[in-house]
Amino acid sequence: MYSRAYKAGVTIPPLLWVTVFLLLPYAILFCYSFWSVSPAQVIVHNWNLQNYLQLARNPIYAQVLLRSMRIAASVTVFALLLGYPLAYYLSFHAAKRKDLLYQLVIIPLWASYLVRGYAWKTILGSDGVLNGFLQFLHITHKPVEFFLYSPFAVIITLTHIYTPFTLLPIYASLEHIPRNLVEASHDLGSSPWATFRRVILPLSLPGVLAGATFAFVLTLGDFLAPLLVGGPSGIMISNVVVSLFGAAYNWPLGAAISFCMMLLVVTLLFITERLEKRLAVS
Amino acid sequence: MTKAAPNAAATEGAASSPAAPILSVRQVIKRFGQRPVLRGISLEVASGEFLTILGESGSGKTTLLRLIAGFEDVDSGEIWMRAERLDRIPAHRRQVNTVFQSYAIFPHLSVFENVAYGLRAKNTAKSEIPERVRQALAMVKMGEFAQAAPAKLSGGQQQRVALARALVNRPRVLLLDEPLSALDANLRRQMQVELKSLQREVGITFIFVTHDQEEAMALSDRVALLRAGLLEQVAPPRQIYGEPETAYAAQFIGQTNLLRADVKDGIASSGSIVWHTSGASGMATYSLRPECIRLSSESAGLPFADAATARFRGRVRNQAFGGAMDLIEIACGGPQIIRARIANPGILTGEREFEFTASHAVRVREGEPG
């Protein structure tokens, strides 16, 4: 068996890392959420629930949160619609091209997030690629403004960025389906479509759930895409947090929002994990 | 669909050539890339027959089964089921069902739903399904497991579910791809017996793939011996054992001694062993089963006691106790060691005299298939 020194050597550093750089900051954040800012812009440590009450009373926060969740849900749906067919094709029909196509899915992940964000800015902008193309074809006669700086732009950009994260777990779960189950289904008289519906889809659901969770949670916490392409109507909840910690200098309120978000995401992860376990059959 | 053309070229040699085949495989060729897997297979299967496709791994036996099931396409040749051309229709519209080597039970469905799968796929009346599933599960003695999850079942139980799932559809032909190979020896023997009685009970044509020659002999009405993509011999087990056509068949099915003999005027001689034969003159190979060799009681008339019996002397090199029969290795001067199986021989030492009935030495073809 392994020596105590070895066990300590491999477990203590990561535990220490997580404690110092994750758990401790969360604890501090949690404390901040009960403090307040004095009129003189000083954080005072008088414990109260004002921040949480403000979140509940002022509808603007709920609205932004709701919009964020709508955007996250849209990105999730689009990422699934794009990711599942591609993952299916890769796993079942790509044959010799499988490795190449798989790499093509992975490569965008190597490009910087900012590069991909700016790329969409140049595509969607009023003198961007998309508008130029539409005008070239005489479909439109002047630049369409709402492509950029809208929730639409945020959804497109984030769908592009997070689709690989959705595709990979789906692909993994499809790869794990024994091929003789597909043959058995055909053998028992099921058409290819019925086989997909009754064997492949049910067995890939854990992957679908994992992929959807990735897309939803990552989008919900995203603040760069709204910053780059969102405009005022594309503001998401994380942008509110960023501004509260920055220009607005209201750390306690920012902390309260952050903590609510964290609770939401952890609850979500808890539920999806339970669901995944129930769907997964050994 | 056109009607089946009358099959002029009858399959060669098979003694019990079926009168009205339910399935006929005609000149089927299959390659994987450059590698030929099946090199021209013609085979007819009679209705209600238990046919075993026997061969070593890589002989193409599973491929042949997969072609019949529809999981692979033939490169050339045809497969017919009665008057229907099978190789042109997709797997899900063929009236055959398969029992897979690794069972392929749907892990996300209960035992009941696994068995009901084929019935639902074919839009069987909803009211009919529970009763048919119940019957099928009862047939394989799995009635009490209907609601169980497949993951909770043992290998043998999954095997039974796989069988029920295939049989519930009342296929015209049931294909079994080494279905017993994953079971331990005792369970395997038990399942062999059950499989055989099940087949008699339901009267469905079974095509059974195995590499186990004992299993093939125990179960089959006929054995089709496949070698490197060609059929070596198709015959009932007793015939293929007693009258193997080739040296390969003789060696693959049971143990044998291959004697290379010089035949002249009705007398074959292989070293010091000489016997009467009706075969043509020239060099030839004969198969002599170990259990055909006996101890001679008297030492008169070497090498012929009479025209029907051959005698030879040999030194007992080794004797292994084998329960009912001892395995004895006999050196007869030449490089060849003759193996004999003799019941209750006592302890044998030194030079002894042995004999066999001349007609038990069966002339076989040697060499590559085809």
- CATH number of the domain where residue B322 is located: 2.40.50.100
Chain B residue with CA closest to A199: the answer is B106
Question: Which residue, among A188, A190, A201, A205, would best test binding to B if mutated, counting the most B CBs under 10 Å from its CB?
Answer: A188
Q: Residue A109's pLDDT is what? A: 84
B203 in the same domain as B160: no
Position B100 in a domain: no
B179 contacts in chain A (CB < 8 Å): none
B117 contacts in chain A (CB < 8 Å): 185, 188, 190, 198
The answer, yes or no, to whether the previous bond of B303 is cis (omega within 30 of 0) is: yes
Of B102, B108, B118, the CB nearest to A188: B118
Q: Is CATH 1.10.10.10 what the domain over A57-279 is classified as, yes or no?
A: no
Of A181, A190, A195, the CB nearest to B104: A181
How far is the alpha carbon of B90 from chain A, nearest alpha carbon, in Å? 8
B108 contacts in chain A (CB < 8 Å): 199, 202-203, 281
Tell me if chain B has a CB within 8 Å of the CB of A18. no
CA distance B106 to B149: 10
Question: CB neighbours (10 Å) of residue A25?
Answer: 10
A203 contacts in chain B (CB < 8 Å): 107-108
Contact A188 B100 (CB under 8 A): no
Q: Residue B2's pLDDT is what? A: 39
Among B51, B26, B57, B52, smallest CA distance to B40 is for B26
- Structural domain of residue B66, as residue ranges? 16-95+171-253
B278 in the same domain as B157: no
How far is the alpha carbon of A267 from chain B, nearest alpha carbon, in Å? 27
Position B11 in a domain: no
CA distance B244 to B255: 12
Provide the b/e sequence for A104-116 (b: ≥16 CB within 10 Å).
ebeeeeeeeeeeb
Q: Which of B142, B168, B194 is the C-terminal boundary of a domain?
A: B168
Chain A residue with CA closest to B169: the answer is A188
Position B118 in a domain: yes
Contact A181 B151 (CB under 8 A): no
Among B316, B370, B300, B321, smallest CA distance to B348 is for B316
Q: How many CA atoms lie within 13 A of B258 on its CB side?
A: 18
Q: Residue B345's pLDDT is what? A: 85
Structural contact between residues B9 and B26, judged by C-beta atoms closer than 8 angstroms: no
Contact A178 B149 (CB under 8 A): no
Phi, psi of B171 (to 5 degrees): -70, 160
Q: What is the pLDDT of residues A203-251, one digit of tens each?
A: 999 999 999 999 999 999 999 999 888 888 888 999 999 999 988 889 9
Helices A151-175 and A113-124 sit at what angle, rounded to 10 degrees?
130
Chain A residue with CA closest to B122: the answer is A189
Q: Which long-range contacts (CB under 8 A, 24 or more apart) does A217-223 make?
A: A217/A72, A217/A265, A217/A268, A217/A269, A218/A158, A218/A162, A218/A165, A219/A68, A219/A71, A219/A72, A219/A75, A219/A76, A219/A158, A219/A162, A220/A68, A220/A69, A220/A72, A220/A261, A220/A264, A220/A265, A221/A261, A221/A265, A222/A158
How far is the alpha carbon of A227 from chain B, nearest alpha carbon, in Å? 44
Contact A190 B151 (CB under 8 A): no
Tell me if chain B has a CB within 8 Å of the CB of A191. yes
pLDDT in tens, chain B (370 residues): 333 434 433 333 333 444 579 999 999 999 999 999 999 999 999 999 999 999 999 999 999 999 999 999 999 999 999 999 999 999 999 999 999 999 999 999 999 999 999 999 999 999 999 999 999 999 999 999 999 999 999 988 999 999 999 999 999 999 999 998 888 888 888 889 989 999 998 899 999 999 999 999 999 999 999 999 999 999 999 999 999 999 999 999 999 999 999 999 899 999 889 999 988 899 999 999 999 999 987 665 666 667 788 989 899 999 999 888 999 999 987 788 999 999 988 888 888 889 999 999 999 998 776 5
B63 contacts in chain A (CB < 8 Å): none
Q: Residue B300's pLDDT is what? A: 59
B197 in the same domain as B85: yes
* DSSP-assigned beta bridge partners for residue B319: B328
CA distances from B171 to A131, A251, B164 (A): 61, 72, 12
Q: Which of B201, B223, B253 is the C-terminal boundary of a domain?
A: B253
Number of domains in chain B: 3
Of B108, B121, B151, the CB nearest to A202: B108
B225 in the same domain as B183: yes
Count residue pairs from A and B with Cβ separation < 8 A: 69
CATH of residue B210's domain is 3.40.50.300
B314 in the same domain as B228: no
How far is the alpha carbon of B96 from chain A, nearest alpha carbon, in Å? 7
Tell me if chain A has a CB within 8 Å of the CB of B129. no
Among B253, B222, B232, smallest CA distance to B51 is for B222
Among B345, B367, B366, smallest CA distance to B354 is for B345
B49 in the same domain as B177: yes
B69 in the same domain as B175: yes
Contact A188 B91 (CB under 8 A): no
* DSSP-assigned beta bridge partners for residue B175: B98, B207
Q: What is the pLDDT of residues A72-85, one digit of tens each?
A: 999 999 999 999 99
Q: Which of B134, B152, B168 is the C-terminal boundary of a domain?
A: B168
Contact A186 B97 (CB under 8 A): no
- Quote the ipTM score: 0.84
Contact A184 B100 (CB under 8 A): yes
B180 in the same domain as B164: no
How far is the alpha carbon of B169 from chain A, nearest alpha carbon, in Å? 8
Among A73, A31, A33, smallest CA distance to A159 is for A73
B191 in the same domain as B66: yes
Residues with pLDDT less than 50, chain A? 282
Contact B92 A186 (CB under 8 A): yes
Structural contact between residues B308 and B357, judged by C-beta atoms closer than 8 angstroms: yes
- SS3 letters across A9-26: HHHHHHHHHHHHHHHHHH
Tell me if chain A has a CB within 8 Å of the CB of B93. yes
